Amino acid sequence: MASSLILNTMSFNLSISRSNPPSSTPLIHGSVRLPRFNKVGKALKLSSTQSISGFPSFAPQKLCSSTPAPQRLQSLTVFAARGYKMKTHKASAKRFRVTGRGKIVRRRAGKQHLLAKKNTKRKLRLSKMHEVSRSDYDNVIGALPYLKVNRNTK
């Protein structure tokens, strides 16, 4: 079965003609003319320096050179794609801070009014900073997109 396999090579020679072609069939200006398929049973040449069934070779003709071309060293700079600038929610920015280790902290609620009824120890406890729970990190980061948060901190 494999020995009776016949290879049909097809070559597409695309040529864009600007003037009238020498053939008898008229073509529209700027049209593409496709020749008939070659049904020649030639074997394919699969060498890196020769073409395959009429197609030009894509491999470089000169594989190695004795003197490499001098290359300048360039610093690699990564530019971010210009897109939508994310907005910072200003009310959230006043309530949350990031520590030096990258943790998000907040103040305790309960010091807005009725401070005369609260003793000093309670007021001091409410004025200290407390960590935000990990489950709320996504909500805080969504409101404050440019916050430098370290998610791997323990």
The segment(s) of the chain belonging to CATH 4.10.410.60 are: 90-143
94 CA to centre of own chain: 34
For the domain made up of 90-143, give the CATH fold.
Answer: Factor Xa Inhibitor (4.10.410)
Q: What is the pLDDT of residues 56-78, one digit of tens each?
A: 555 555 555 556 566 666 666 66
- pTM of this structure: 0.42
Residue 107 confidence (pLDDT): 92
- Long-range CB pairs of 32-39, under 8 A, 24+ apart, other chains included: 35/11, 37/8, 37/10, 37/11, 38/9, 38/10, 38/11, 39/8
Looking at per-residue confidence, does 13 or 90 come out higher? 90
> Over 90: is that where the pLDDT of 126 sits?
yes
For residue 134, report the phi and psi dihedrals to the nearest 5 degrees.
-60, -30
pLDDT tens digits, one per residue of 24-58: 555 556 666 665 655 555 555 555 555 555 555 55
pLDDT in the model for residue 117: 94
